[in-house]
Amino acid sequence: MEFKALIFCFIASILITPLVKKLAVKIGATDQPNHRKVHKKLMPRLGGLAIFLSFIIGILLFFPDSGYTWPVVIGSTIIIITGILDDMRELSPKLKIAGQLAAATVVVVGGVQVEFINLPFMDDKLEFGYLSIPITIVWIIAITNAINLIDGLDGLAAGVSAIALLTIAGMAITMGNSFVVIVGFITLGSTLGFLLFNFYPAKIFMGDTGALFLGFMIGVLSLLGFKNVTFFSFIIPIIILGVPISDTIFAIVRRFVQQKPLSSPDKSHLHHCLLRLGYSHPETVLMIYAMAALFSLAAVIFSQATMFGSVFVLFILLLLVELVVEVTGLVSQDYRPILNLVKDYRTKR
């Protein structure tokens, strides 16, 4: 059933996206070029509406009876409304967070919560109790904004989201979690259909409508796929989403170092840094796809490895992240501790 859902939503998204493109132009939901943006001409956004409509048709057709279905549908509808208003009127950060908070609260009330994790090295578990609600809400909002922050190049957010969705749904198959499998494939098919119009050179942008929706769905599905598991397994969704999470973390660090507000936009995200290094638009996107795929592969290996193997995989990933940060100048051009150490070692030899 999951593959039927994927193909159906893929085709539905292909058919709906041109209609949404016309709607975006008609109502003025367009993206103006400016000093921060890469594109040079007026572009229709609101493309996320096509992903959402395909998703809604798919979930109501293939999985209408799950206890999670309606909380997810209502929560994602709130997110879509927030995104549409932002694409049309540019909401303030406070209003955007309010919309995300409302959507996250709906799914938490609907039963999506991380209640406990089993602790390593001991036969015990850590119960979150009342903290399970804020922890779940913070996770969903954090992932929602992480996907939104990487939406800076044609096809980037859609492709990275597709890789994450494929990994989450694929691992859910081994766990027998039918809701995450089917809804994951429904969201994946809807995203891939849209990606045909969004990859370089893009004919339409997903806008905050799409980025917020995909981030919200990935946040929810990752919780449902890995909730109430061991401490080490709880790291799996963090690894899968390594690219958007690390880009978000270093954006926060960068703004703290530069003494700028956290909500202030800049042109120093990972894709901006790769462009400055001389890579073309499609090369940059494909390189970040490769990084996302590497994180997903590492998550699969991590899930099957022994405890020692899991720690080793985590160490290698952290080392690679640090090297990418230093090479690209993600924090600043002067932040190069490991590269400077290697340079000093070579000089002394």
Residue ranges at the known binding site: 148, 208
Task: Return binding residues for Mg(2+).
Answer: 148, 208
Task: State phi, psi for 205 to the nearest 5 degrees.
Answer: -95, 150
Backbone angles phi, psi at 118, to 5 degrees: -80, 130
Residues making up the chain, counted from first to last: 349
- Provide the terminal-to-terminal Cα distance of the chain, rounded to the nearest Å: 62
Sorted by sequence, the CB contacts under 8 Å of residue 286 that are 6+ apart come out as none
CB 216 within 8 A of CB 76: yes
Distance CA 51, CA 216 (A): 13
- Provide the residue type at 258 as one letter: Q
Report residue 325 as tokens.
Answer: 């940060």
43 contacts: CB under 8 Å, gap ≥ 6:
30, 31, 202, 204, 205
| Structural contact between residues 330 and 324, judged by C-beta atoms closer than 8 angstroms | yes
**Region for residue 93 given its phi and psi (left: phi exceeds 0; alpha: psi -120 to 50; beta: otherwise):** alpha
Q: Which residues pair with 118 in a beta bridge?
A: 125, 230
Geometric angle at alpha carbon 314, from 253 and 325, rounded to 5° = 35
* Listed residue (253, 181, 187) closest to 215, CA to CA: 187
- The number of CA neighbours under 13 Å toward the Cβ of 82 is 28
Q: Rounded to whole angstroms, how far apart are CA atoms 197 and 205?
A: 9
